[in-house]
Structure 1
Amino acid sequence: MRSDGSSGGARGERCDVLIAGGGPAGCAAALPLVRAGAQVALVAPVGSPGWRIGESLSPAARPLLERLGVLDRLAADEHAPCYGNHAAWGRDALTAADFPFGPYGEGRHLDRARFDAALLEAALAGGVCRHTGRVRGARWQQDHWQITTSDGSVLRAGYLVDATGRSARPARLVGAASIRSDHLIAVAGQLPPPGTGTAAPERVSLVESTRWGWWYTAPLPGGGRVVMAMTDADLLTGLHLLHPGVWWAQARRTGHLQDRISDWEDPPQRLRVLAAGSARTGPAAGPGWAAVGDAATATDPLAARGIVTALATGLAAARAILADRAGDTGALPAYARRIAAVHAEYLRAKAAQYRREQRWDTPFWRRRR
């Protein structure tokens, strides 16, 4: 495979492992594989995918970043500190979960584009070869995967890793199923940095429940802020939350979110609708392939575990692939069982958390009880 960062037009190029997707999960899988001597190709589009749900990084990511050997690189980027989470959930008053008292100290409010780029740069510097595009087809032939990409290239790989996020297209191509638990979505907007003279932002994220769902907000690097309204897809039409003016009016009627957005007079010019529901791929691995990150187990943003899960599953899938290469035929099935068990535990915890909110007898909350 070519390692100059270009797509390369040759047909039939061969690698040991092909990773579809260049986000945190894909890079977390790539780094240990290439360090173990595997020839790794990463297929991903050019450019940043833009901001996503979850711009805050939990302190629990620290040991994973250390294991990947990228903690110092990311520390140099000076992402803003995150001291914890505040929530108005089940009652009007705020409760706080403060990070600095935990074993790993404070978290981070990420510049997500910079964070993802730093992980990708580390993977490329380690010897991972990048192929520009997306995986469009995957077929097993005798002893390898034959993989076609969006630019028409045909690649061959001994193993395939799906790190494409919630779409999990490669996993679907090889026969896995999507198992969804709900249809939560986020209607999200970014507020630009306000004018000069405003107070420094609180370095905490905020969750606040409401009749039709809940709100999330967190400060962004440079003084901006991300604000998201979480509800179910089928409730959107009645709520009119896709209209920036209605979305903004709802945000300004809250008990605590309104304090975080008081420096802004106008709503965002554009809102984005992002999938945020709980889902898993079943199975999350099979002969010669594995899914990682949201492609394996996608969780409600309320759990605040998306990036940590991406890193952890990437590392775990890499270990399973290396073990399989060494002759342990049970490694990939064991990884799939582990993903299923972790997701089941998450669903139990999610149900318990939603049951804490008993103030409203509305469709959104009834579904979660």
Structure 2
Amino acid sequence: MNGGTPRGGDVRCDVLVAGGGPAGCAAALALVRAGADVVLVAPAATGRPPIGENLAPTAGPLLERLGVIGQLGLDGHAPCYGGRAAWGADGLAEVSSVFGPYGPGRHLDRARFDAALLEAAESAGALHRTGRIRTVERLPDHWRVTTGATGTVSARYVVDATGRPARLARRLGATPGRSDRLTAVAGHLAAPGGGTAEPELTSLVESTPWGWWYTAPLPDGGRVLMAVTDADLVAGTRLHDPVVWWARARATGHVRHRLAPWQGPPRQLSVAAAGASCTRPAAGPGWAAVGDAATATDPLAACGIVMALATGMEGARAILADHAGDGGALPAHARRITALHEEHLHARAVQYRREQRWDTPFWHRRHQGTG
């Protein structure tokens, strides 16, 4: 591949990547290391409080393949020694990663992790432009993309790494489809003053009649706490109200013990779609979707970043193969994304069927295969 050089406000490149999260950075890194000229367009950091996320141990080999594991400073994130769950029974079951082949995972400072990945992509040679995709037009041998005030980019290929909205894929005729209406109502509990004991470095999931709770420590001494239910059940459970949300958390059997250092809820909660979804098709002539823009997983699976890295690298591989003359590479990427989504739905159904204690709308839908 041979890109061009900036001319005024315009740039020519081999591949434009829309989105600067793990999927977009993984795609950009893989492409740049294969010799492609890459422009990565991503909005500026929002400065919003981190929601926290675990990095599964299986991310390690992917980061090694990208050649960035030494640059990311993973030792600066808190280790995650596994997870505990009250699921299908009142007691806690434990899954440890300490003795796994890849060692412990990490409780991420997600903003710092994403920034480090973006910096690695830039250091490798990707040209980073701050902004969003405004228009995209298909010309005979390339895409013409406008990115707001930052000018125009001409690219042979485009990669959609814009997350669940799949903004670019939608413009190209693809359809993101949700498999459920799962919603997360999350709060960031800032580190308590006065000093506290070292937190237990495991995540915790606890099911309830209306859904389930997730909590995990953050590297800064704070904690993420998230209630997960269906969108239409949020109002009835009043989980959007921080006071009610906090009271429900304090009434749990296990989560409440992780909240002992905190006296009250955060001032605001964030509400976000959290269900499984899949974009169909996830690729077409001259483009590919990766990460959540291709397929998003239920947070219960705890594999979002691993999936983002893997599909970002896979999308890059498909583009490189297409450029080399393999006309079936991009359709094969789309089929693999669909297969990954179907495999996830099957595994998710098995996990949700393990919880049989409640015949309530949330669980009835999952036992009947409608949620």
For Structure 1 versus Structure 2, the TM-score category normalised by the shorter chain is over 0.9
Which aligned pairs between 1:146-161 and structure 2 lie closer than 5 A? 146-151=144-149, 153-161=151-159
Alignment of 1:272 with 2:270, yes or no, is: yes
In 1, distance between residues paired with 2:311 and 2:239? 34
Cα gap change, 1:87 to 1:319, in 2 (>3 Å): same
In 2, distance between residues paired with 1:103 and 1:77? 18
C-alpha offsets along residues 197-250 of structure 1, whole Å, 9 cap, x if unaligned? 422110000000001000000000121000000011111111111111000000
Query: 1:103: how far off?
Result: 1.0
In 2, distance between residues paired with 1:55 and 1:22? 17
Task: Answer whether contact 2:52 2:224 (CA < 8 A) is retained.
Answer: no
Which aligned pairs between 1:241-320 and structure 2 lie closer than 5 A? 241-320=239-318
Cα gap change, 1:67 to 1:131, in 2 (>3 Å): same
SS at match of 2:89: coil
Which aligned pairs between 1:124-139 and structure 2 lie closer than 5 A? 124-139=122-137
Cα gap change, 1:49 to 1:279, in 2 (>3 Å): farther
C-alpha offsets along residues 42-70 of structure 1, whole Å, 9 cap, x if unaligned? 01112256456661100000000000111
Which residue number in structure 2 is paired with residue 200 of structure 1?
Answer: 198
Which aligned pairs between 1:18-33 and structure 2 lie closer than 5 A? 18-33=16-31
Cα gap change, 1:51 to 1:347, in 2 (>3 Å): farther
Query: How many equivalent pairs are there?
Result: 365
In 2, distance between residues paired with 1:280 and 1:53? 23
Q: Which runs of 4+ in 1 moved over 6 A?
A: none
Which residue number in structure 2 is paired with residue 333 of structure 1?
Answer: 331
In 2, distance between residues paired with 1:10 and 1:356? 59
Q: Percent identity?
A: 65
The letter of the residue matching 2:342 is A
Task: Answer whether contact 2:165 2:176 (CA < 8 A) is retained.
Answer: no
Query: 1:135: how far off?
Result: 0.8
Task: Answer whether contact 1:9 1:153 (CA < 8 A) is retained.
Answer: no
Task: Answer whether contact 2:160 2:168 (CA < 8 A) is retained.
Answer: yes
Cα gap change, 1:166 to 1:51, in 2 (>3 Å): farther
Task: Answer whether contact 1:184 1:277 (CA < 8 A) is retained.
Answer: yes
Cα gap change, 1:362 to 1:351, in 2 (>3 Å): same
In 2, distance between residues paired with 1:47 and 1:228? 22
TM-score (norm 1): 0.95
SS at match of 1:64: helix
* Deviates further, 194-203 or 146-155: 146-155
In 2, distance between residues paired with 1:326 and 1:86? 47
Alignment of 1:343 with 2:341, yes or no, is: yes
In 1, distance between residues paired with 2:214 and 2:355? 16
The letter of the residue matching 2:239 is L
The letter of the residue matching 1:189 is G
Cα gap change, 1:9 to 1:248, in 2 (>3 Å): farther
Cα gap change, 1:197 to 1:334, in 2 (>3 Å): same
SS at match of 1:268: coil
In 2, distance between residues paired with 1:167 and 1:183? 14
For structure 1, the residue ranges without an aligned partner over 5 or more in a row are: none
TM-score (norm 2): 0.95
SS at match of 2:70: helix
In 2, distance between residues paired with 1:152 and 1:193? 39
Task: Answer whether contact 1:139 1:174 (CA < 8 A) is retained.
Answer: no
* Deviates further, 23-32 or 145-154: 145-154
Task: Answer whether contact 2:129 2:150 (CA < 8 A) is retained.
Answer: no
Which residue number in structure 1 is paired with residue 189 of structure 2?
Answer: 191
The letter of the residue matching 1:286 is G
Alignment of 1:102 with 2:100, yes or no, is: yes
Query: 1:104: how far off?
Result: 0.5
The letter of the residue matching 1:31 is L
Query: 1:13: how far off?
Result: 2.2
Which residue number in structure 1 is paired with residue 366 of structure 2?
Answer: 368
What CA RMSD, in Å, does the superposition of the two structures yield over aligned residues? 1.7
The letter of the residue matching 1:334 is A
Query: 1:37: how far off?
Result: 1.2
In 2, distance between residues paired with 1:2 and 1:43? 17
C-alpha offsets along residues 78-113 of structure 1, whole Å, 9 cap, x if unaligned? 111000010000111000110012110100000111
